[in-house]
Amino acid sequence: MAFDTATELSTVGKARRRFPTGHVITYTVLVLGLIAWIFPFIWMVLGSVKTQQEMLQRPPTFLPENPTLDYYVSWFQEHSFLTFFGNSVIVALFTVLGNLIFCSMVGYALAKMEFPGKKILFGLVMAMLMVPGVVTFVPLFVMVSKMGLNNTYPGLILPFVTSPIGVFLMRQFMSGIPEELMEAARIDGAGELRIFARIVLPLCGPPLATLGILTFLGSWNNFLWPLVAAQDQSMYTLPVALSLYSIGQEGTQYGLLLAGAVLIITPILLLFVFLQRYFIQGVATSGLK
Amino acid sequence: MSSTTATGVAGVTNPGHRAPSGGKDTIAGAKRRQALIAWGFAAPFVIIFAFFMLIPLVSSFAMSFTDFNARDVQTPLAVGFIGLDNYIELFKDPNFLQSLAVTGIFVIIGIPLTMTIAFFLAVALNNGISRFRAVFRVGFYAPVVTSIVAVSVVWRYILNNDGLMNMVLGWFGIEGPNWLNDTTWALPSLILMAVWRNVGTQMVIFLAGLQAVPPEVQEAAMMDGATAARRMWSITLPLLRPTILLNIVMISVGYLQFFEEAFVMTQGGPLGSTTSVAYFTFGKFRFGEYGMASASSYVLFIIIAILAFVQFRFLQPKD
């Protein structure tokens, strides 16, 4: 919301601009930049419908001469795409759900309650934001292996089911909810759980949307952990499957790989285009506060 | 239960009015009760956080002083304590030193490049144009949301020896290198890709920062005859200080962990020319040298912590 008000305000200033030619130049540069920026996506889609023969042609053709959907069909029929897709969806959904529930609960305690250890807890969460993933990676793998969770959904989900950034996001937003709202409910005899579920959570739409989207994104695109934790093909998520097909196999079957890439990217790009204000607002607010 | 809680909690927040008379005990009791409830809310997070983040963080530190390897997984307590040997060995290992250099180059070239492009895009979107702002924002941000495994496929296809990149260079009479298999050009290729993937985030944060600059201040300066460049330098940039700090810290922490691009594009090659510290660590992990991997990950952690600290010290607004 704040975003748009600010946008409008700055547009007011712009009406008085003296050099419309400046606009033309800016637009030209931006349009050229934009084309270069999204070109890899265009090239990806074009390549995914070219025949094997056409892929080997030098110089490459721009538009496909005999567009074919063979690679896509092959993903579904021969490469168990739906299994990988299903795994990705299951892992992402539970990861999102866990983050929404756990981060908002602890966020509420940190924002609205006093308790011993609060400062330490918040400090630890913030410090954890700076710890590189690679530091915890090795012991995490050893632990998950020892618990027998390798190659299971819990093994893929549990390490990501909460996130320090999510706690931070929820706490920041909840701190801004007026104390009076809760006070009134307390006088009416409502318990904390009730206040949390009936008053606080319904007000938390925006940060929950942001957290849900960011977590979904992270889970959908995550590949290093599932790569080591999912050893059986039936447990692969989409990026793992594609990476095992593609990495280190130069020059082979680019068409099939590009089609796979399109299949992974499409759901997330659609989600992004429709929900872009939440994506972008989330990044901007979690950053600015 | 809820009714007692309610009076109790109200008593804490408003002791003057609502605490029953004679109530030090009641206040203490209410405090204790609220603490219990609060920890109840925090419990699910705390358990998972402790188990999957804190314990691994501490174990990794402990492991870095041992010769823990893949065979010790069944008997983790029987490993040998070897003091600083891992760290000493690391700094004698030319491959590790090379990985430090690779990470350094990546960071030193990648950060200014990403931030400059992001900043100019944000300024252009904020001041330079009045329409289609959302379209540009979505377009430049799109690489951020896409899977690196997926985009790596098309990037390898483009940077292939006889791929699109070299064909385009050929139009201008330039014979391009075999980008990803050339020890000189592999790292720059990955920097280019990282810039492409990270400009969006930085741009959006800059944009939010720019929109928070009050237009009145700008207009006042304009009245006084300050040029656009002057306004940028004397008004916008100083006001953007917190945004710039945030962006620098974020991108430094991210770029120092440089790993994914190398993993999906070059597997650290050719000849280690794209093996970053994080990639080196992962290599040690893959060979089962867990103690060694932990030590090198801690070196990276310390570098990140020091750098973040220094950046906060230098860039935080002075009162």
Look at residue A185 in the predicted model and tell me its pLDDT. 85
Token pair listed for B32: 């204790």
pLDDT score for B24: 60
pLDDT at A248: 58
Judged by DSSP in three states, B18 sits in helix
Are B208 and A284 inside 8 Å of each other by CB?
Answer: yes
User: Could you report the predicted ipTM of this complex, rounded to two decimals?
Assistant: 0.84
- In a shared domain, residues B31 and B123: no
| Residues B50 and B102 reside in one and the same domain | no
Closest partner CB to A142 (pick from B141, B151, B290): B290
Closest chain B CA to residue A26: B128
Q: Which residue has the higher pLDDT, A21 or A109?
A: A109
Q: Where are the domains of chain A?
A: 2-73, 81-288
pLDDT score of A250: 52
Confidence of residue A249 (pLDDT cuts 50, 70, 90): low
What pLDDT, on the 0 to 100 scale, is given for residue A95?
A: 97
Distance CA A145, CA A143 (A): 5
Q: Phi/psi of residue B66, each to 5°?
A: -125, 170
Could you tell me the pLDDT band of residue A179, with boundaries at 50, 70 and 90? confident
Place of tokens 């299994």: A83
Asked if the structure places residue B68 within a domain, the reply is: no
Whether residues B106 and B174 share a domain: the answer is yes
Domain that holds residue B44: 2-63
Predicted pLDDT at A171: 92
Q: How many Cα atoms sit within 13 Å of B199 on the Cβ side? A: 26
Report if residue B92 sits inside a domain: yes
Residue A11: predicted pLDDT: 46
% of chain A with per-residue pLDDT over 70: 88
Residue B141 and residue B35 in one domain = no
Mutation target among A42, A115, A270 for the B interface, most CBs of B within 10 A: A115
Regions of chain B with pLDDT less than 50: 1-22
Mutate which: B45, B129, B206, vs A, most A CBs within 10 A: B45
pLDDT at A19 exceeding the cut of 80: no
Which residues of chain B make contact with A230, given a CB cutoff of 8 A? none
Does any domain span residue B76?
Answer: no
CA distance A284 to B211: 11
Residue A129 CB burial class (10 angstroms; 0-12, 13-18, ≥19): middle
Whether A3 shows a pLDDT value over 70: the answer reads no
Q: What is the pLDDT of residues A111-169, one digit of tens each?
A: 988 899 999 999 999 888 888 888 998 899 989 988 899 999 999 999 999 999 899 98
CB-hemisphere CA count at 13 Å for A168?
Answer: 17
**Closest chain A residue to B219, measured at CA:** A13
- Check CB contact of A189 with chain B, cutoff 8 Å: yes
| Secondary structure of residue B92 in the 3-state scheme | helix
- Greatest C-alpha distance within chain A: 77
- Per-residue model confidence as pLDDT tens digits over A28-71: 889 999 999 999 999 999 999 998 888 877 777 888 888 889 88
CA dist B193 to A272, B264, B275, Å?
21, 11, 16
Query: Looking at the predicted structure, is the pLDDT value of residue A13 above 80?
Result: no
Query: Quick one: how far is CA A140 from the chain centroid?
Result: 22
Q: How many domains does chain B have?
A: 2
Q: Which one, of B71, B96, B107, lies nearest residue B295 by Cα?
A: B96
B77, part of any domain: no
User: Which of the following CATH numbers is that of domain A81-288: 2.40.160.40, 3.40.980.10, 1.10.3720.10, 1.10.10.10?
Assistant: 1.10.3720.10
